[in-house]
Amino acid sequence: IEGIEPLHHYRPEGFHPAYIGEEFCDGRYRIVHKLGYGTTSTVWLAADNAEGKWVALKILMAFASKDSRESEALHALQAGNPKHMGRTFVTTFLDEFFIDGPNGRHRCLVSEPACPSIEVAVHEAYLGVNKARSIAAQALLALSYIHSCGVVHGDLHTGNILYHDPKSAGGGIAIDKLYERVGEPELVPVLENGEQPVVKSLPRFWVHDTCFCGFEGVKLLQVQIHDFGASSLVGNQNTRSLAPMVLRPPEVMFDEEITQASDMWTFGCTMYEILGRWCLFEGEGMFQLRDTDNDDILVQMVECFGKLPERWMERWEEKDNWFLPNGEWRTGKMTKHRKYLPKPFRTFSERFAEMLDRYNRDEGVIEAEEAACLEKLLRAMFALEPAERITAEEAVNSEWMQRWGLPA
């Protein structure tokens, strides 16, 4: 069923078969609705009966619960400087506990609720320049805070930047009022051969997601970075990326460590997408499907930013399809995405100019002076060598951020 987690993920070591009304921690948390799901977790809206507020309850797959890196990152973020400019734009971690269910032992992480992500708004023209600029600036401040805590996010994209209304979590936990606002849970029976299965590992019902907050009528958006499932502390980084292929930095394509510098590249792609409503690098398909191969993305990186460092060129098995032994481009070669593009070769400057011209905004435009500063900032994020990339703190102090991004 579209928009609902796959049933086969409910198995030993997989998802916990949570249900509306299920309680945890001696009745403190009670599930009232569903917020969504991810690769290794389901996320539920729950009533915190001890604090009298709504919370987001993330229940990890049992196998994923054995990895403590997300928990370590969240604890580090919670212990960071509360006066940092970016603190308010990062999810607030509230609690952690374990539950035992038919599919194993699951780690549960409690945080402030926030949704939806900005992804739909970015691509469907809900944002004018002013809102897009503000969201990009808030996200950069958030990343600066995350890095100040010694954390690598590892999966920065528009789907993990969520709209946040600080007032929505408080004001009591009257379920009838909640359902008036967001609707009652829509339950879909889980059936096998027309009957509900008796297997304990499966839920009795699927639950459709709800939108706890909305964009409608909002003049000033506040966002938060969420989902630290791919995060780690500096010194204990991952090498396997969960980020969409079109957002991965070159070092990750060659199985090098995911670092804070890697975050900066991915954030550059995300910032470009927020302001331009389109990905910098194209995958296959007119709707920017993010599933494509490394080679297509690497070729576009070379188009935009020049030849890759030699250590990567030596490891790039397919490079001879596009490059002569002397490093020059072959003629007449096309990557898979080319059939969807009007031009065979586009530099970063050309893509950036197209990004600025692509759509007329309802609220303002990016003038030439701002565009020059923005391009300079993005290029600093897209240095091919990780060590040469701008840091998040340096980006916050950039001319674009100081003149056009702040106050966020």
Tokens representing 405?
Answer: 């991004």
- Distance (Å, rounded) from C-alpha 396 to C-alpha 215? 26
- Distance (Å, rounded) from C-alpha 40 to C-alpha 68? 13
Whole-angstrom CA distances from 336 to 133, 244, 293, 296 are 32, 17, 9, 7
Residue count of the chain, please give it.
Answer: 408
- Distance (Å, rounded) from C-alpha 199 to C-alpha 328? 60
DSSP 28: T
Residue 348 makes CB contacts below 8 A (sequence gap 6+) with 280, 303, 304, 305, 379, 382
58 is in an annotated binding site: yes
- Distance (Å, rounded) from C-alpha 111 to C-alpha 285? 36
List the one residue out of 157, 111, 148 whose CA is nearest residue 234: 148
- Distance (Å, rounded) from C-alpha 267 to C-alpha 382? 10
List the one residue out of 265, 277, 274 whose CA is nearest residue 378: 265
Cβ-contact 99, 108 below 8 angstroms: yes
For residue 406, give the amino acid letter: L
- Distance (Å, rounded) from C-alpha 155 to C-alpha 368? 31
- Distance (Å, rounded) from C-alpha 56 to C-alpha 46? 6
Cβ-contact 97, 29 below 8 angstroms: no
Cβ-contact 42, 7 below 8 angstroms: no
Cβ-contact 54, 178 below 8 angstroms: yes
Residues annotated as binding site? 58
Residues annotated as binding site for ATP? 58
